[in-house]
Structure 1
Amino acid sequence: MEPIHKHNNPLFYKLTLGLFILYFIVKPFYILPSGSLQMADLIMLLLLFFMIFINKLKVKIKKKNSSFIILNLLFISYIAIINILWTVILGEVVYKMTLYYIFNFLACFLVIILFSRHGNKLFKAVYWGVLISILLQTLLIMLLNGVTTGRDTGFFNNPNQLGYFSVVSLCLLIYSKRKLEDKAHLFITALTTCFFLSLISLSRGAIGASVIIIGLYILKNRSIFLLLKRRLMRVILGGFLLISFILTFFIYYDSSLITDSKIYYGLNKRVVGKDINSIEEVSTRGYDRIFIHPQYLIFGAGEGGFWRFNSYKEFHSTLGNIFLSYGLVGFLIFTFIIINAFKYNRWREFYLFVGIMVYGLTHNGIRNTLMWIFIALIACDLSDGEEIDA
């Protein structure tokens, strides 16, 4: 798809895409505490400033994207109203959570603007930005820390952030790859790298989501492996068979080769050794709040004041948090956003969103900017349409 409007200055044209690529590269590097503006966030705000103010406060977007923007505005408006109301009622600060949603709306708006200007070149920028990011992250982790028996954080503040980053990066790579002609072996390397990052994070949600996403992708796109040259395919197949034979031999005669490995030890400790039953898991994550506090299910309890639930933790579920915090009203608005984004995509990549929500069964990822960028990119997957001023 060709861009709607291209800036006359080639340097500006390259700069905007370059900044967007840089955003993904530095995204995993957290300097300040979680919840603060990081380097990548500042780059995004700078890029948004360039795109809006250099164009004299006038930007053009696809007419079909206007409904996506309106629904997002409705969502953050409702969130702001609910959080402000509960701030007044409880006498404690709840409204600050709204700032995250406003920032993520700006990220979505930026993606729509960039797409209207760059067209499919935007997907190329996403692909290479994410690819460089995950490879750089993996290289630095291996050089500085190596694989440990504990949960690796990479350059994030906690291992769950690394796990979620690997899952959403996986989705961004798969989706943007569909728009490009790229060498299959590089793409497979990228998928493997994302899965490796999820493994070393030892996040059960991230590992499970990655397995589901990659499995569904293979079932849906079996022909991707036929793109490899026959010689390379023979090398890969031969290497796989050789490694399988060696592993089988050592497992049969000396299983310690596997059981003594650091990744195996960490996974066994996190998954097999997790001494918690399903009822405790539901309570720990916060799902019991839905049944114990049904009074919040229509309009929402806001995001904060967790003492009301005899807890100091938020609801560890993406969809669950939306449902409890903003009620059925907020949940329906979010559902309409997803429907609006995927209907022009003809639901081809909806399985990627399902994978993200699998991770979201045990973690609240609704405020993660990369997830909203992914949704906005899906919303850009539409046929040529009339442009409008925004």
Structure 2
Amino acid sequence: MTISNQINNKAVDKKSVKKILVLFSLYLILTPFYFWESGLPQISDLVMILIIISNLINNKMTLTTSVQGKQSILISFMFILYVVSINFTWSFIMGEYIFIKSSLFYIYNFGVFITTVNLAHIYKDEFFKYIMIGIIGALLTQLFMLFYGIGDNYGGGRYTLSFNNPNQLGYFAILIFGILVFLNFHIRIKTKWLLFGVVTTGVLSIISLSNAAIISYFGILTGLLIFKNGKRFKKKYLILLITVALFVFFILYINTSIIHENTLLQSLETRLGSTSDKIARTSEVRGYFRITEYPQFWIFGSGEGAYYRFDGSSLEFHSTLGNLQVSYGIFGLILFITLMIKSIITSRYKCWYPLFFIMLYGVTHNGIRNSLLWILIALMSINYNSTSTKMSNIKSKDE
């Protein structure tokens, strides 16, 4: 079955397709809302599960993707299979079920990954437009909460808005910014909405007062300004906006006390000023000592759980790649890095810098469980001009 025939078949049930795409927008809008404690499924996760099931039913348990998408799915499947195997092994050895709970995050995100790959390949621009609608809706709801003073409850001037903690807010902002950069390459985004997304994600990063998120945001922004983004992106408007904003900030800074007495800016200055001290304490605070002091886990990993094995610490490793290395060894780390490199190559290196700076954020935070990261990698994993490959029951075979 060719890709054109597959798309024509989809047209028979347009209502089902429309519902899936609308649900994906709703998922993005609901993603920031944490109604329960972190680590538990949220409302958005329930919506995504419904999307995954509906997509499989609508496609009669068949996934259609490009050759590159098939390769990325196979790499991600190998990674998830390895993760689950390691966690089940340690669950049996330690007699604890926390390892199985950790595996569920990865299995869920694998479902998110293959569903995104499938939808992106089949519906292309239409799917991207619904993602953009979801992004705008999510950012508007967060701005609404900010303007009405909802979520400034973490202390030190740090905002949480609808999240449980400000780091989640900062990570959400840079992930959305990364997806926005991807969309800019594939669909025509009106300048006003592009600027809205760029500015709003910047505001959310800053009010989170997350050093990692702020640095990563400006890294992605710099990449957006430096690297060619096609005729669809009018750089001059963004450059003009940033120039005017910096000029206004400078005038206010030297002529008024508004900025000097602003609590948020004072907190930001304090946190950025302590960045060097935090870097010096990274190994101790984030858990990097586990790499050097526990070489027995270098090859296969320690599994994700029972952290008391590490000098009695009850906290997980606060690093994306670092946690993968300790939990799943060199094999798990290589598989995930291979998946990212494959996605970068497939996207023709257009979106390397958002992924790079998102991983830079991950130097001090473990962001592997966030489904938006898997969505971004999935979007980058498709060659939209290549020949399609039908994948039946997640097993690939060329037609």
TM-score where L is the length of structure 2: 0.89
Change (3 A) 1:210 1:57: same
Aligned partners of 1:112 and 1:380 also within 8 Å: yes
Change (3 A) 1:284 1:128: same
Change (3 A) 1:139 1:292: same
Q: What does residue 350 of structure 2 align with?
A: 348
- State the one-letter code of the partner of 2:103: T
Deviation at 1:187, TM superposition (A): 0.5
Deviation at 1:80, TM superposition (A): 1.0
Q: What does residue 155 of structure 1 align with?
A: 162
- State the one-letter code of the partner of 2:371: T
Question: Residues of 2 paired with 1:328 and 1:28: CA distance?
Answer: 33
Aligned partners of 1:3 and 1:115 also within 8 Å: no
Q: What does residue 341 of structure 2 align with?
A: 339
Deviation at 1:275, TM superposition (A): 8.7
**Corresponding residue to 2:213 among 206, 216, 223:** 206
Q: What does residue 296 of structure 2 align with?
A: 295
SS for the counterpart of 1:28 is: coil
Deviation at 1:70, TM superposition (A): 1.3
- State the one-letter code of the partner of 1:204: N
- 1:299-378 maps to which residues of 2 (within 5 A)? 299-310=300-311, 311-378=313-380
Deviation at 1:181, TM superposition (A): 1.3
Change (3 A) 1:179 1:226: closer
Question: CA offsets per residue over residues 259-318 of structure 1, 9 Å max, x none?
Answer: 211221221232225694544222111111111111111111111121111211111110
Aligned partners of 1:3 and 1:119 also within 8 Å: no
* Structure 2: runs of 5 or more not aligned: 393-399
- State the one-letter code of the partner of 1:190: G
Question: Residues of 1 paired with 2:279 and 2:215: CA distance?
Answer: 17
Aligned partners of 2:152 and 2:160 also within 8 Å: no
Q: What does residue 196 of structure 1 align with?
A: 203
Q: What does residue 100 of structure 2 align with?
A: 95
> Residue 70 in 1 paired to residue 74 in 2?
yes
Deviation at 1:168, TM superposition (A): 0.2
Q: Which has the higher mean CA deviation after the structures are superposed, 107-116 or 3-12?
A: 3-12
> Residue 84 in 1 paired to residue 78 in 2?
no
- 1:278-293 maps to which residues of 2 (within 5 A)? 278-293=279-294
Change (3 A) 1:277 1:122: closer
Question: Residues of 2 paired with 1:245 and 1:336: CA distance?
Answer: 43
SS for the counterpart of 2:281 is: helix
Deviation at 1:160, TM superposition (A): 0.9
Change (3 A) 1:286 1:223: same
Question: Residues of 2 paired with 1:335 and 1:190: CA distance?
Answer: 28
Aligned partners of 1:315 and 1:321 also within 8 Å: yes
**Corresponding residue to 2:387 among 382, 385, 388:** 385
Question: Residues of 2 paired with 1:115 and 1:177: CA distance?
Answer: 15
SS for the counterpart of 1:7 is: helix
What root-mean-square deviation, in Å, do the aligned CA atoms of Structure 1 and Structure 2 show? 2.6
Question: CA offsets per residue over residues 194-240 of structure 1, 9 Å max, x none?
Answer: 01001111111100100100011101138779838x9xx69x95995
Q: What does residue 111 of structure 1 align with?
A: 116
Question: Residues of 2 paired with 1:142 and 1:357: CA distance?
Answer: 30
> Residue 183 in 1 paired to residue 190 in 2?
yes
Question: Residues of 1 paired with 2:255 and 2:388: CA distance?
Answer: 67
SS for the counterpart of 1:388 is: strand
SS for the counterpart of 1:197 is: helix
Q: What does residue 134 of structure 1 align with?
A: 139
SS for the counterpart of 1:113 is: helix
Q: What does residue 268 of structure 1 align with?
A: 269
Change (3 A) 1:219 1:238: closer
Aligned partners of 1:213 and 1:352 also within 8 Å: yes
> Residue 18 in 1 paired to residue 25 in 2?
no
Change (3 A) 1:322 1:238: closer
Aligned partners of 2:307 and 2:316 also within 8 Å: yes
Aligned partners of 2:64 and 2:390 also within 8 Å: yes
Q: What does residue 259 of structure 2 align with?
A: 258
Question: CA offsets per residue over residues 352-373 of structure 1, 9 Å max, x none?
Answer: 1001011101000011111001
- State the one-letter code of the partner of 1:187: L
Identity of matched residues, %: 32
TM-score where L is the length of structure 1: 0.91
Question: Residues of 1 paired with 2:242 and 2:83: CA distance?
Answer: 53
SS for the counterpart of 1:178 is: helix
Question: CA offsets per residue over residues 147-173 of structure 1, 9 Å max, x none?
Answer: 785211110111111111001000011
Change (3 A) 1:369 1:223: closer
Deviation at 1:64, TM superposition (A): 3.0
Question: CA offsets per residue over residues 60-113 of structure 1, 9 Å max, x none?
Answer: 332332221111111111111111111222232322200000000000111122
Q: What does residue 395 of structure 2 align with?
A: none
**Corresponding residue to 1:30 among 28, 34, 40:** 34
Q: What does residue 396 of structure 2 align with?
A: none
